[in-house]
Structure 1
Amino acid sequence: MRVGAGESKSQFWQRMVTLMLALTLMMPVLFMGLPDFKTAHAETKPLAAPVVVIPVHHTVENGLYNFLERAFREAEEMNALHIVLDINTFGGRIDSAQEIGQLIKNSPVPTIAYIRGKAISAGSYIALNAEQIAMEPGSSIGAAAIVDITGNEIEDTKAISTWSGLMKGAAEMRGRNSQIAEAMVDKNVGVTMPEIGRIVPKGEIVTLTSQEALKVGYAETIAASLDEVVKFIGGENHPLITMELTVAERIARFVTEPWVATLLLLIGIAGVAVEIFVPGFGLPGILGVLGFGLYFFGHYIAGFAGAEDIALFVAGIILLFLEIFVSSFGILGILGALCLFSGVVLSAYNKQMAAWSLGIAFVLAVVIVVIVIRIFRHRGVWNRFILSEKLTAEEGYVSASSRKELLGQTGHALTPLRPAGTAVFGEERVDVVTSGDFIPAGRTVKVVQVDGSRIVVKEMKE
């Protein structure tokens, strides 16, 4: 910068100092109006951040947890804006629901449960763990009493106390009335809900409709569609991604169902046993291998079975095969059965349930195998070790040539017959026997009986 015309150096430097002082005084004012870029970035995610929808349908079981674990992990990797749990279930396994609830609580991505239809039993626990709950008109939540496999309520006080404690904890964590959650599990609690003018007496289990849940604080909004849920969480301008089960996960969820696992074990045991004891068909053996293969494949994909469990099972099959052809006084058979049993049980999530499934499958398989063996017993493997053919003359089997042509002929004893000896008929020497009499050499004899190679003679009196 040069000094202007008519301006002295002292005036120039005076003007520069004044300008610098003015800029210094204005700096705070200028930056006060600017946004905090760090804060703005932390509070607002880019529009590319998706809203991830994860379906929680059908039965709550082991395979569902593994699917949700993958879905939550991928949502976090995508830096998702929100996770929407699309819930419609009548419940299922409590232990699986507990693991899923822990997964939701630990998620760094915000969660909202959208109940479409039913969130019953274990489904209600999953919903209560989400940060927010949205419900479709006509949907319901609750009825979380513990039931057995036949649908009858369990009266085990310890089990009820544990489950109601989990439900209360989930409700308290999200600022909801915990007594309502407890009354969803334990019919001996009872609860008063003045917000809806309803009293649930002892002896009844609580179930809330969508409107009731909204009024008592068990839902934040009622949404007629998924789009309304997305709008409620402020994600209408963000991409919507729905997570789907892979083919392997679908198989795993289906196979790990207790009744399916029992059926596969039945097919496996019966198929292999029939192929061993009544060989030649091929189809039972193929079905048996497929049954065991699907059982272990599903449990492996679900994360329950390891390579060592499968190896243990294969070793059991090999030992059982060896027992059939190698004499081991039952040692190989016992070891094989133990390996097979251990492989099946250790590969399952619930060891007790797996043991029951294996026991039921084994009993039914024995019945099937016995029936098949009775029908096809002529093809049994034991026929390889038993001589079943009859060596009859009608079949052409003879032990020696028959001398029927000698019957009635006469000759003389060449040696004394006591009672066996040798006689001559014409020019032929023949071994003969008497009926027990002694005949000296040189006496005349007559053939009275021929039985194969046994020729019976009698002395001819002169």
Structure 2
Amino acid sequence: MWRFCVLTLRRHLPLAALLLFAALALEGQQVLAQDRPLSRNTAVIIRLDGAIMPFTYAYLERKLDEAKDDTVDIVILEIDSPGGELNASLDIAKMLSEVDWAETVAYVPSTAMYGALSGAAFAALGCERIVMGKRAAIGDAGVIESDGNNPFRYVPEKQRTHVTNRIVELAKLRGRPPALAEAMVEKDLDVFQVRNTKTGQETCMSQKELDAAKDAEDWEKGKPVQETLGGNFFEANGERAVELGLAESNAESREELFEQLNIVGTPKIIKWSAVDTTVLVLNHPLVTALLLIIGLVALYIEMSSPGIGMGILTAGLCFALFFWSRFLGGTANWLELVLFLAGLAFLGVELFVLPGFGIAGLTGMLLLGASLILASQGFVIPHTRDEMFTLIRSLSVLTGAMLAFFIMALFLNRYFGSLPILGHLALKPPTDGEAALEHTAAEQALAVGDTGRADSALRPAGRARFGHRMLDVMADGDFIAPGTPIQITRISGRRVFVEPAKEE
């Protein structure tokens, strides 16, 4: 019996060894496959440079849509920014955290002038992975405000609580130490390196986190994070950020980053386009004021010389550029456009249906002003000093544009007919001979009740034809369209007043 077992074992031993070797090799391949991320053939780089403004959010939103259309696997956000506007920074971080069609990687190179500071740190925390050069910087995101007496002032605790909660939730979502994210905003928060004695997990926690932890007895508090001591906002270089678990890895060049991410080929760089430059220029306060002035003056010219169409086309172009730049700049929505169109409608009712100036005209002007102001800012009611300054700037631009318009309107009202180009658009006054004939005819032949036809729009002044005679007349009441049959209602000196002829 034993002899038979030994012979059988010897006979099958090579086969068993071969099967065992194959099983071990297969398991090894599976382990390697799990440890090594799959190569990705598509990636794009989007640069986040300079101060963060509402325009920056809209810009990144457009670039992310472009990357999504390219069906990429990785979006690399290359950051070199000192931060900027608070709400825009938080919105950018939220937008990046909600990207589910690609992996988002924040890359802060050592060559960056600023790194990822203040609001730019929020954007980095919104990404799935943070890769930094060893000398790059991240953090220092204290919320400050400015006024005339103190250019930079740390905001009160009540105002920064919302920011702290948002940034802590973002860190938890991405599996980063919430205490380090909070220490970027709270300068008096001391953070410690801790270790779980049961699991061996190492992370960073604040004292209040340790006290509130359900397994507080399992955490061993180590040395404090030096960057959080002394009442400073937390800021760390790339090497330290990796050590503390805030960043995933270090990369000193794009090539090293591509190798870490197993990117094949050179990723596409989504660059700043001519449209982005145009939108940025049109959002400048001086250019905004110029657009408003030209648009208002063009409307005035159209009212002074109706029927030509150049004024209304120019005004339409100016206001279209204004709202287009605000839409792409991230400060306007459909509400502002609806308010603007409603304001024009009320003014139209006031001018053409209810002559004079009353409730409709005042409402129209208020709606127009509100739409132009709201389209220039990303909020309705200011809650911070920075928002108050933005509102003051918007009001200043609108007020300056209105003053310039009134000055130009007075100038055009006096010299319109003598200007080289615009003079051809205005109704020419009659020559001395024509005026003498007209006045003689008016004095000798015209009488109340005589009928004729409006030769131009009467708003209220204009020209009308009575038989073979052309006279200056005034609409007595509502404005009168060109070609409308009219009749004389009264004559006061050389002024002839008319109204639409009554149908018999």
1:114 to 103, 107, 113: 107
TM-aligned CA deviation for residue 296 of structure 1: 0.6
Q: Which moved more, 1:41-50 or 1:184-193?
A: 41-50
1:248, 1:301 within 8 Å by CA — same for their partners in 2? no
CA distance in 2, matches of 1:76, 1:41: 27
Q: Deviations over 1:73-111 (max 9, x none)?
A: 555565544322101112123223223222332333333
CA distance in 2, matches of 1:300, 1:369: 25
2:255 to 227, 232, 256: 227
CA distance in 2, matches of 1:88, 1:325: 55
Taking a change above 3 Å as real, the CA distance of residues 187 and 69 of structure 1, as seen in their structure-2 partners, is same
Q: Tell me what 1:210 maps to.
A: 238
Q: Tell me what 1:87 maps to.
A: 79
Q: Tell me what 1:170 maps to.
A: 170
TM-aligned CA deviation for residue 137 of structure 1: 4.6
Q: Tell me what 1:189 maps to.
A: 189
Q: Tell me what 1:242 maps to.
A: 269
TM-aligned CA deviation for residue 187 of structure 1: 2.8
Q: Tell me what 1:132 maps to.
A: 129
CA distance in 2, matches of 1:79, 1:277: 50
CA distance in 1, matches of 2:33, 2:392: 55
2:133, 2:239 within 8 Å by CA — same for their partners in 1? no
1:143 to 140, 143, 146: 140
TM alignment of 1:17-166, pairs within 5 A = 47=39, 49-72=41-64, 75=67, 80-108=72-100, 109-115=102-108, 116-118=112-114, 119-148=116-145, 152-166=152-166
Q: Deviations over 1:172-192 (max 9, x none)?
A: 444444333223222333556
1:319, 1:335 within 8 Å by CA — same for their partners in 2? yes
Q: Tell me what 1:13 maps to.
A: none
TM-aligned CA deviation for residue 114 of structure 1: 0.9
Where in structure 1 are there 5+ consecutive unaligned residues?
A: 1-24, 382-387, 400-462
Q: Deviations over 1:409-454 (max 9, x none)?
A: xxxxxxxxxxxxxxxxxxxxxxxxxxxxxxxxxxxxxxxxxxxxxx
Q: Which moved more, 1:57-66 or 1:106-115?
A: 57-66
TM alignment of 1:51-450, pairs within 5 A = 51-72=43-64, 75=67, 80-108=72-100, 109-115=102-108, 116-118=112-114, 119-148=116-145, 152-191=152-191, 194=223, 197-198=226-227, 200-202=229-231, 204-231=232-259, 233-252=260-279, 255=282, 260=284, 262-275=285-298, 289-301=316-328, 305=332, 309-310=336-337, 312-317=339-344, 319-320=346-347, 323=350, 327-344=355-372, 347=375, 349-352=378-381, 356=392, 358-372=394-408, 378-379=414-415
2:53, 2:88 within 8 Å by CA — same for their partners in 1? yes
Q: TM-score, normalised by structure 1?
A: 0.62
2:331, 2:378 within 8 Å by CA — same for their partners in 1? yes
- Secondary structure, aligned partner of 1:351: coil
CA distance in 2, matches of 1:78, 1:35: 36
Q: Deviations over 1:336-369 (max 9, x none)?
A: 2133235435656423468655532232223323
Q: Deviations over 1:109-141 (max 9, x none)?
A: 333211133212110011122233222354321
- Secondary structure, aligned partner of 1:117: coil
Q: Which moved more, 1:347-356 or 1:112-121?
A: 347-356
1:267, 1:288 within 8 Å by CA — same for their partners in 2? no
Amino acid in the other structure paired with 1:136: G
CA distance in 2, matches of 1:198, 1:43: 33
Taking a change above 3 Å as real, the CA distance of residues 303 and 363 of structure 1, as seen in their structure-2 partners, is closer
Q: Deviations over 1:20-70 (max 9, x none)?
A: xxxxx99x9899589699999999887562132222222323343344345
CA distance in 1, matches of 2:310, 2:79: 42
CA distance in 2, matches of 1:297, 1:38: 54
Amino acid in the other structure paired with 1:93: E
1:91, 1:122 within 8 Å by CA — same for their partners in 2? yes
TM alignment of 1:449-460, pairs within 5 A = none
Where in structure 2 are there 5+ consecutive unaligned residues?
A: 1-15, 194-222, 382-386, 418-428, 441-504
2:37, 2:262 within 8 Å by CA — same for their partners in 1? no
Q: Deviations over 1:239-270 (max 9, x none)?
A: 51222344434544565x5xx2x445533443
Taking a change above 3 Å as real, the CA distance of residues 225 and 373 of structure 1, as seen in their structure-2 partners, is same
CA distance in 2, matches of 1:178, 1:309: 39
- Paired residues, number: 367
Taking a change above 3 Å as real, the CA distance of residues 301 and 177 of structure 1, as seen in their structure-2 partners, is closer
Q: Deviations over 1:273-292 (max 9, x none)?
A: 44456768x99988765543
- Secondary structure, aligned partner of 2:50: strand
1:277, 1:373 within 8 Å by CA — same for their partners in 2? yes
Taking a change above 3 Å as real, the CA distance of residues 367 and 48 of structure 1, as seen in their structure-2 partners, is same
TM-aligned CA deviation for residue 297 of structure 1: 0.6
Q: Deviations over 1:353-399 (max 9, x none)?
A: 68655532232223323444565662379xxxxxx99x9xxx9xx99
Q: TM-score, normalised by structure 2?
A: 0.57
1:270, 1:288 within 8 Å by CA — same for their partners in 2? no
CA distance in 1, matches of 2:30, 2:66: 26
Amino acid in the other structure paired with 2:400: L
Q: Which has the larger radius of gyration?
A: 1
